């Protein structure tokens, strides 16, 4: 029996202890957040040209004016974070 199947058998028992259930819930929640984080990075890379245009002040008629400052600030913060990553050697 492998380690993975043994841990699955423990999780599927009727007498599941609270610490095990809590650890399982934390692990699944964290893996879900990791998946969403990777998906958002992929989406941000696809949307980068549009964000750059918004940061430069070019209006987009589909975006309400109230959101433009928020998107500009978020774009500037993301670009600053990316430039810090490039300077530190992370791709």
Q: How far is CA 46 from CA 15, 52, 60, 75, 82, in A?
A: 47, 12, 17, 13, 15
State which residues form the domain around 53.
3-88
- Tens-place pLDDT, residues 7-31: 666 666 666 777 877 888 889 889 9
The percentage of the chain sitting over the pLDDT mark of 90, rounded to a whole number, equals 8
Residue 33, pLDDT > 60, answer yes
Look at the chain and report how many structural domains it folds into.
Answer: 1
Task: Give the pTM.
Answer: 0.39
Give one DSSP letter per residue of 7-69, joined into a string.
Answer: HHHHHTSSS--HHHHHHHHHHHHHHHHHHHHHHHHHHHHHHHHHHHHHHTT---TTS-GGGHH
Contact 32, 42 (CB under 8 A): no
* Stretch 25-49: mean pLDDT: 86
């Amino acid at each position: 029996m492998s380690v993975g199947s043994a841990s699955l058998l423990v999780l599927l028992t009727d007498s599941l202890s609270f610490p095990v259930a809590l650890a399982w819930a934390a692990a699944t929640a964290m893996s879900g957040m990791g998946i969403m984080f990777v998906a958002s990075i992929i989406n941000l890379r696809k949307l980068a040209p549009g964000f750059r245009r918004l940061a430069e002040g070019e209006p987009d008629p589909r975006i309400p004016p109230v959101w433009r400052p928020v998107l500009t600030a978020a774009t500037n913060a993301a670009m600053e974070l990316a430039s810090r990553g490039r300077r530190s050697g992370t791709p």
